[in-house]
Amino acid sequence: MSFRFLDYSFDNGLATFRYQSENDIFTEKVQFVTDNLIDYNKNVLDKALFLAFVVLGTSYYKVRAGKSVELPRAISTRQAEIFNRIYQEGMSQFAFENKLTRNDLAEFVGGDAGDFAEETFTRGGSLVTLSGGKDSLLATEMTIGSGTEYKIAYITASESYPDIINEFGEPVIIRRMIDKEGLKNAGGFNGHVPVTIINQALMLIQAILLGYSRIEFGIGKEGLEAHAFIDDLPVNHQWAKTADAQSLMDEYIKNFVTPSIKIDSLLKDLSELEIARSFAGRCWQKYGDRFSSCNVANYKQGANNATLKWCGKCAKCANSYLLFAPFVPYTEQLKIFGHDLFTDPEMTETFKGLLGVDGVMKPFECIASIDELRYAYKNKLPGYGDLPFEIN
């Protein structure tokens, strides 16, 4: 049986998206901010809603992943090609963890029909996504430094959001109401979906409603290394953040939604190590004890993340600890982690994966390249302990 994209609607800022997998119907709702609405182009909004409709579907498609999918309207050949990349390469980790191949994943089919872009009115300025991690905080500081008019935005699936966001003015909060009950009742497969692509599609809708011409994401040079391969399919947790994926989104928006709005990143030319160096020099004094890039402690569905924390036990914590070791004194990192992660025996295997030692697989997380992390460890400042293994 095909996975069916049933329909979507929009009323007073509330978007509703419905999907069907066998006998299960899934409904996700997303509440957008409608204060200070412009006289937006309703056709352009519909094209953006359709993009969100398709990419949000990954969260429900994965329950019974299969090759056959049905859309409620025709798409062009190029639209189908882009959607196939999102549902195959963007779900490569999901496939790996559930022992699937590319041939088991969705195949969209297009033709001569499809959506084509239209101009839309914008007031200009940037809608800046801020999560409270090092990348988004650095991107925000760079935006402020450029003198660009901006508004901070955050997407949440819970009732809370990081308090640090309020320091930049009243934020735009987009609220996802994921069909958790439907997913729980349906059972089936579970796994990673291309969240960055989903967030960008939702931010595009919000930018259309409020008239922003640019959407800023804090994305550097990421996803350059595959964790593994499934035949010809590279398994990459960070695929949605790669330059390739971002180019596809840029192409889709320009050709099938509107050329008037662009998603971009001021960090796109910076490696993770360069971002850490810049954050240490530009942001640590202001945010060092209040930021966090730890997903375990802050960003699980339903978590209260008003005060950002670090768990000190996950790959993201280890990655950040490594990246800052050449630029931030040990005493400063000790304040936020509470102990030296390098000497924590529970973290040994995680560091082996991050540093490419003993064949341990690189963790499925948004992390720096092995070469960058090896450089960071070998150039750590005095005071840090040593890992219990050799790095060539």
Give me the residue spans of the domains in the chain: 3-264, 272-378
DSSP one-letter code for 225: S
Quick one: what percent of the chain has pLDDT higher than 90? 83
- What fold does the segment set 3-264 form as a domain? Rossmann fold (3.40.50)
Q: Identify the CA nearest to 223 among candidates 368, 370, 85, 96.
A: 368
Main-chain phi, psi angles of 20, to 5 degrees: -135, 130
Quick one: average pLDDT of 161-178?
A: 93
What does the pLDDT look like over 18-32, one tens digit per residue?
999 999 999 999 999
pLDDT beyond 90 at 304 = no
Q: Are 237 and 364 in contact (CB under 8 A)?
A: yes
Mean pLDDT of the chain: 94
What's the confidence (pLDDT) of residue 303? 67
Q: Compute the distance between CA of residue 360 and CA of residue 352 in angstroms, rounded to an integer.
A: 6
Tokens of 326: 């050449």
Write down the residue that tokens 């450089």 correspond to: 375
Q: Compute the distance between CA of residue 30 and CA of residue 25 in angstroms, rounded to an integer.
A: 17
Q: Are 298 and 132 in contact (CB under 8 A)?
A: yes
All residues at 6 or more sequence positions from 8 whose CB lies less than 8 Å from its CB, including other chains? 15, 16, 17, 18, 49, 50, 52, 53
**pLDDT category, 300, cuts 50, 70, 90?**
low
Quick one: average pLDDT of 120-133?
A: 93
What's the confidence (pLDDT) of residue 301? 55
**pLDDT category, 299, cuts 50, 70, 90?**
low
Buried b (16+ CB within 10 A) or exposed e, 289-311: eebbbbbbbbbeeebebeebebe
Identity of the highest mean pLDDT range in 130-134, 236-240, 344-348: 344-348
What does the pLDDT look like over 93-116, one tens digit per residue?
999 999 999 999 999 999 998 789
What's the confidence (pLDDT) of residue 48? 98
Tokens of 277: 């160096």
pTM over 0.85: yes
